[in-house]
């Protein structure tokens, strides 16, 4: 609807990447969320050390300065550059928390093999019964290397993007192969 394109196993339209997330690009989107979380954590920790030093160390008044930098600057308690540093640290913390929240949400969807639409409608028939099978279904067999090492690692998806087994079909196939 937003992109005016047809996407296999569409999950949602991502305003940050400007495209729909679906079957072919979910792995890259998930990697983006993971690295936003890692980078956000790293930047947040480093910024906190810098801001605490700029505020004069850790105390109750500097915690208040950190939470409300604009009023403290307005009343002359901190300088303008320190207010800017503190504001940037707050924005960084919010970005980290937002990225980690999205990572958590999409991790839950992935281990249940659901899209956002299916989650909202209570559709659970495409879960393959085990989290690892669901992860392979979404990220491919080399998912650890493809997510942690490089998006260029080959990890072909096991399906054609149109036909997906239900939990019933999966349990029938696994009992036949025994």
CB 164, CB 9: distance < 8 Å: yes
3-state helix, strand, coil in the chain (%, to 5): 60, 5, 35
User: Three-state SS string across 11-66, please?
Assistant: CEEECCCCEEECCCCHHHHHHHHHHHHHHHHHHHHHHHHHHHHHCCCCCHHHHHHH
Residue whose C-alpha is closest to residue 100's, from 45, 42, 37? 37
In the numeric block, the tokens 């196939």 are attached to 173
The sign of the torsion formed by the CA atoms of 99, 103, 109, 113 equals positive
77 DSSP 8-state letter: S
Task: Give whole-number Cα distances, 104 to 107, 165, 172, in Å.
Answer: 5, 25, 31
Q: Annotated active-site positions, please?
A: 14
């Amino acid at each position: 609807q937003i992109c005016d394109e047809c996407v296999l196993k569409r999950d949602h339209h991502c305003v940050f990447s400007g495209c729909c997330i679906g079957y072919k690009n979910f792995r890259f989107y998930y990697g983006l969320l993971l690295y936003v979380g890692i980078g956000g954590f790293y930047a947040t920790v480093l910024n906190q050390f810098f801001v605490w030093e700029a505020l004069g160390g850790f105390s109750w008044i500097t915690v208040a300065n950190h939470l409300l930098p604009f009023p403290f600057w307005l009343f002359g308690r901190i300088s303008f550059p320190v207010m800017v540093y503190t504001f940037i640290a707050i924005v960084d913390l919010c970005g980290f928390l937002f990225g980690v929240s999205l990572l958590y949400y999409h991790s839950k969807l992935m281990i249940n093999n659901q899209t956002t639409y299916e989650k909202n409608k209570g559709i659970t028939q495409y879960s393959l019964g085990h989290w690892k099978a669901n992860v392979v279904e979404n990220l491919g067999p080399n998912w650890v290397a493809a997510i942690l090492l490089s998006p260029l690692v080959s990890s072909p998806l096991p399906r054609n993007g149109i036909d997906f087994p239900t939990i019933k079909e999966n349990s029938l196939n696994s009992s036949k192969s025994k």
